[in-house]
Amino acid sequence: MIYTRIRGGLGNQLFQYCIARALADRLGVDVGLDIREYNENSAFEMGLYRFNLRAKYNPEGLIKHKKDGKLSYVWDIVRGNQKHVYQEPHLGFDSAAISKPDGTYFKGYWQTEKYFKDCVEKIAKDLEIVDAASDQNIAVLKKIDGCTAVSLHIRRGDYVSNAGYNAAHGTCDLAYYTRAVAHLVERFGNDIVVFAFSDDPQWVSENLKLPVDVQYMGHNSSQKNYEDLRLMSRCKHHIIANSSFSWWGAWLNQDPNKVVIAPQTWFADPKMNNPDILPSDWMTI
């Protein structure tokens, strides 16, 4: 079995699943998801239940973490369990990770398609949402299917409210979205329809002004953010934020003719860099 620690928001969770599932498929073994960090006090929802995953949740034999108590953690080391842990060494693609042996426990974020590029079809099938869409979302899907739909995502939330996250990630300014829309208008004409998604929809509706039709999406709660992913993935083209959430909204659209626009700067902190975060056919502005 290949194990992976699941932590953070839904975008992070999907990357953490994918590296483990891809390696497990190469080895012909199962995947174990360590979701012990999620409870009623967690900052994020554990959203992987909403997808068609091939995995076991909290299987027997999981390693101990430091927060489980010093004695338990040390005893786990003595027993040799911690020797199977593989910590992500840096933000970019790590070629050693894709050939680890059975029993490996991944710790990290693993944010690049390169970890599962060889099994895209299987991964895309795994990431199909199993919950039926609500009537309201079905209505939006019909709108999306009936036009040249562009998903646009603005990440605010903790990127704004948390000083540490803001220093590390920052936010995309409105000028970025204006330039991205202008590029798509030049390619596809003025009749594109922008579907704007955000964790701060009121701010977006008050501040995002574009020279095309904009549909402001704000009806799905944070507990149902997977519904926004479904809507985003049905759009024909995508303008993403420096966010793993909108990364997946674009990636889940498997149309080879899609255009995906991403910000040139992914991290505000110049010490942070992931040169492999974007697939090679996505463009930056």
Split at pLDDT 50, 70, 90, the class of 159 is: low
pLDDT at 160 over 70: no
- The answer for residues whose C-beta is within 8 angstroms of residue 279's C-beta and 6 or more apart is 113, 251, 260
Q: What span, in angstroms and rounded, lies between the C-alpha atoms of 151 and 240?
A: 8
The predicted structure's pLDDT at residue 161: 59
pLDDT at 107 over 70: yes
Judge contact between 100 and 23, C-beta under 8 A. Answer: yes
Judge contact between 160 and 166, C-beta under 8 A. Answer: yes
pTM score: 0.95
What average pLDDT does range 68-76 have in this prediction? 86
Judge contact between 150 and 235, C-beta under 8 A. Answer: yes
**pLDDT tens figures, 228-261:** 999 999 999 999 999 999 999 999 999 999 999 9
Question: What number of CA atoms fall less than 13 Å from residue 112's CA on the CB side?
Answer: 17
pLDDT at 176 over 80: yes
pLDDT at 158 over 90: no
CATH architecture assigned to 135-284: 3-Layer(aba) Sandwich (3.40)
**pLDDT tens figures, 195-233:** 999 999 999 999 999 999 999 999 999 899 999 999 999
- The answer for residues whose C-beta is within 8 angstroms of residue 101's C-beta and 6 or more apart is 27
What are the residue boundaries of the structural domains of the chain, listed by start? 2-126, 135-284
What average pLDDT does range 256-283 have in this prediction? 96
The predicted structure's pLDDT at residue 40: 87
The predicted structure's pLDDT at residue 277: 98
Phi first, then psi: give them for residue 213, nearest 5 degrees. -65, 125
What average pLDDT does range 142-166 have in this prediction? 85
Among 40-49, 71-80, 226-235, which stretch is predicted with the lowest mean pLDDT? 71-80
